[in-house]
Structure 1
């Protein structure tokens, strides 16, 4: 329930019934989000007999939970946040965590944050950790990361593979209780993904290579593809190979020799915009549309078929029987196609074919031009051909 201008209030309750009797749980929460600050608070309580599926041990069953958080933004000077969590378990153990952080963007070239975490556990006592994080992006898919704190340091450089396919990498080094060194290479292709990793920790070195992919059956055809995690589309541009395919203006693939591309990672139950690069379509192929909107279901396929119409555009030079060019501006028609005469008797038509007859509305009356043969070339210039009455 939203109460303007105070914020959002919510109440929830649940009940369970089992061999140990009937139990109850209730939860109350409040949240307020403003332009420069936000706060949130929630309290949850469960009776001793309340049970959740999969939680059997008393040391895992939470009977009381308190959470509070707040944040404030200082514009270009960054943001700050504070949070507190308290958990009480059915066996009497209690865990409390208080944390604070401050983050700052340095001219969009680096991101810095400092943090402090204080925890108290019934079994292990108190612990406090301080540290900072530094992230520096470079290039469209690469970044460097450094974390230093009282419990050790971690440095990492990574480059993610392009969505459309390619290579990626990750190099990492950490010190402290969990000191280790890692090197990783990633390959992403149209038919799957592979990762090779070397890991050194505790005086031992290990290596592993993993791969994953999938097989898709759609429209009676079998397609090898990447592993399907959400929705995907079967994009078809008939007989047009190596056409770039975009999802929300991001290059995500290219069509194969048959004009087909499998596009994974679409948002299920949402509108996804798929488009193709008009620059990859031959000039003698007409595309009524270069983008489609699709809505896949979860792990479901949608058919995204682009209409590709093969045409034979070209120019015909039309002259009168005396050899002079037909007057510029004269109308030209052949069935449903219409055009006009340009300079030097040139007429451009979108779709030429052998045997077509043009009717020219010349100054002295209509005359006709017959195209007996069509040369095997793109955008041919044919003629001069006489226009006879």
Structure 2
């Protein structure tokens, strides 16, 4: 298939449009004489390449057709669909090609002189032109990359005893949380732990996670070995395992739309301009040829929304049509497959024990599949140690108003069987009323990995202590309902929630809550919340307050609280800290009631770490705390102290100290004495733009580029080298002819026989590099002849060497 551009970009006319596959209008089909093609002179089939016109409108396409011995035309199905016709099965020939004369409501003629094929038909026989509103990035987009290095995130915390005590010993100990990781192109190995230092001795070291992970962005799969959380669904209970995991990871493709996208289809009577708006934001704009079309893969937002499609002709006349839709993370787009395969031993007492693992190996498989855009299938299977648990579920939309899901699962363990039923619904009406409901109930003795691996240990602990054993099974019943709606006044909203839970032990709780929010003057707001446990009259609470924002990120809040501990009032003034170097914040808060609670804190974010200090009075006790958090990174041949690095980062090598570096057009700092700077908070698996300002570079520096786009891998570091070098072997040379006239601008030259090439600029000046103490350059003149110039050169580091009046003859 060859693409041609039409001579006329747009033609005037009347537009007709259909949405969601409903046609509103058709092209008018003219009367034509029966087709009379000449039989091939050789009596054999021959290949033809014809420019295709449909209803006298050019498609801008050249199609490959085959003229049969009887004079008829045929084409391959994909070729026919590409030029704009539906390849109907009843027109299929024995070799799989489509005979055009057998297509219903299709007539054609061939204009031999111009090699054109004129097709006349209605919209019912035409194939829709597919318009991808969010195509994949170009192939030249950088692939995800990772260097070699390590990062240690740390958070150190210290506090005093009661400062009012006569024998107070301030800061007797320090506790810390640490997260270390080693990254390479072969994955990332992470290790986190906590440690306590008391009375000068190290104690209480506890290991948290030890995990190796590797992501494959081509297959959208992440592999993990070590400690991880198993995959799950809304009606399952994920567990902490030590073992191996293979998991689908859609976040490795930032351009991938996983939510079902509504079909926007229509028909343009003439070539037109097409615009698509989602939630009043233009998400696509382009030209569309005459005929039917479908817009796919345009960005959508979770929840209720609407898409508007606009067709505009060259005269400015436009047609607008709105299509409501509902998107939810519960649904997968047609053809997408999500899964997680896990195997390992359950880990218990995370955070308090370093190596408490169950003895039995368990496995779990969780999957979701978008069967259609309106039906997502779910499945879950887990087992091991005489446990078998499996279930199926479905999720489907309720028109443009919501989505619902249903699931059922069964289990068998140690002779006991159980059943779980789960159903949920979420709905939105006019983007103002939102309802969510969920009902779950178990029958018999329903078990899963969480209950089986935890029950033995808990039963042992409670048996030894003499306390009654507790059940770790899924609650017998769970009912949840929430309602969000606008309030009685402009700028107000109300929320109501109901949660009822019945445990295996028959203990029951029914919590009801209500909240009200009211926007007031200058972004101020009033809030009120109340809750109670219907089953426990002593469990209740009422909160009400007012928040007033001011300039410089300062806000004031005041309010009243009433709980079963008694009434209290509070007042607070705070300045929020900005996540930039030099950002600072502070907070003053007092709560007055039966037990006074007063608090003051201040924080500062520097280039190398973030520090915070506070003083708190609770009742008659007063204590002070101090905290410092940051990171140490080893990458790109350097060691950097910086703020905490939770995702990817880059080491920028600008080749000189004091060079300004920006990230996404936002200044992030200047390079250090070695010409480097660490830029944190890059987005993994997404394009990140880094740039340098060449204004502070030495005048004799050679710059490879000032802007680069990198795509780092998960929690890894990349080195961005702008190839800046100080080229002391260069000079600005003024060249003139034998008569003393500067050489003409635009002439090209070369140093020696095979040295650096250069171009002569205005006034005969040429920037020439690759020089030595004595140099000979040749310049090709306009008449084809060549002149030669000789001059001496002496380097002057840090300045631009200029050599005047060099004669070329």
Q: What is the TM-score when the length of structure 1 is the normalising length?
A: 0.80
**Paired residue for 2:491?**
78
Identify which of 305, 309, 315 aligns with 2:721: 305
**Paired residue for 2:771?**
353
1:35, distance to aligned residue in structure 2 (A):
6.3
**Paired residue for 1:232?**
648
Identify which of 175, 181, 184 aligns with 2:598: 181
1:207, distance to aligned residue in structure 2 (A):
0.8
**Paired residue for 2:423?**
28
Residues 352-374 of structure 1: per-residue CA shift (max 9 Å, x gap): 63345443345785322234214
* Mapped contact 2:694–2:706 kept (Cα < 8 A): no
Structure 2: 5+ residue stretches without partners: 1-395, 459-469, 563-568
| Distance of 1:273 and 1:117 partners within structure 2 | 47
Q: Mapping of 1:6-25 within 5 angstroms?
A: 6-15=401-410, 21-25=416-420
User: Secondary structure at the residue paired with 2:792?
Assistant: coil
Q: Mapping of 1:117-132 within 5 angstroms?
A: 117-125=530-538, 127=540, 129-132=542-545
Identify which of 702, 710, 713 aligns with 1:296: 713
Which shows bigger deviation, 255-264 or 9-18? 9-18
Change (3 A) 1:45 1:188: same
Q: What is the TM-score when the length of structure 2 is the normalising length?
A: 0.41
1:118, distance to aligned residue in structure 2 (A):
3.6
* Mapped contact 1:233–1:296 kept (Cα < 8 A): no
Identify which of 421, 434, 440 aligns with 1:39: 434
Structure 1: 5+ residue stretches without partners: none
* Mapped contact 2:427–2:436 kept (Cα < 8 A): no
Which shows bigger deviation, 197-206 or 184-193? 184-193
Identify which of 546, 570, 586 aligns with 1:170: 586
| Distance of 1:208 and 1:179 partners within structure 2 | 18
* Mapped contact 1:36–1:73 kept (Cα < 8 A): no
| Distance of 2:727 and 2:428 partners within structure 1 | 58
Residues 218-237 of structure 1: per-residue CA shift (max 9 Å, x gap): 46765444444x22324131
Change (3 A) 1:3 1:305: farther
1:39, distance to aligned residue in structure 2 (A):
1.5
Q: Mapping of 1:38-77 within 5 angstroms?
A: 38-47=433-442, 49-50=445-446, 52-53=450-451, 57=470, 62=475, 63-72=477-486, 77=490
Residues 64-106 of structure 1: per-residue CA shift (max 9 Å, x gap): 13122324599x9535242313132313332322223334375
Change (3 A) 1:226 1:203: same
User: Secondary structure at the residue paired with 1:102?
Assistant: strand
**Paired residue for 1:373?**
793
* Mapped contact 1:12–1:28 kept (Cα < 8 A): yes
Change (3 A) 1:386 1:27: same
Which of these two proteins has the greater Rg computed from alpha carbons? 2
1:199, distance to aligned residue in structure 2 (A):
1.4
Change (3 A) 1:271 1:339: closer
* Mapped contact 2:778–2:786 kept (Cα < 8 A): yes
User: Secondary structure at the residue paired with 1:80?
Assistant: strand
| Distance of 1:366 and 1:375 partners within structure 2 | 28
1:187, distance to aligned residue in structure 2 (A):
3.4
Change (3 A) 1:379 1:193: same
**Paired residue for 1:340?**
760
- Relative CO higher for 1 or 2, CA cutoff 8 Å, sep ≥ 6? 2
Identify which of 94, 100, 110 aligns with 2:523: 110
Change (3 A) 1:382 1:160: same
Identify which of 65, 75, 99 aligns with 2:514: 99
* Mapped contact 1:23–1:46 kept (Cα < 8 A): no
* Mapped contact 1:66–1:87 kept (Cα < 8 A): yes
Change (3 A) 1:143 1:246: farther
* Mapped contact 2:405–2:425 kept (Cα < 8 A): yes
* Mapped contact 2:652–2:677 kept (Cα < 8 A): yes
Change (3 A) 1:14 1:127: same
1:8, distance to aligned residue in structure 2 (A):
1.7
User: Secondary structure at the residue paired with 2:536?
Assistant: coil
Change (3 A) 1:268 1:42: farther
Change (3 A) 1:71 1:267: farther
Which shows bigger deviation, 152-161 or 127-136? 127-136
Higher strand share: 1
Change (3 A) 1:175 1:244: same
Is it true that 1:153 corresponds to 2:564 in the alignment? no
Change (3 A) 1:102 1:265: same
Which shows bigger deviation, 202-211 or 8-17? 8-17
User: Secondary structure at the residue paired with 1:378?
Assistant: coil
CA RMSD of aligned residues (A): 3.6
Q: How many residues are aligned here? A: 377
1:264, distance to aligned residue in structure 2 (A):
3.2
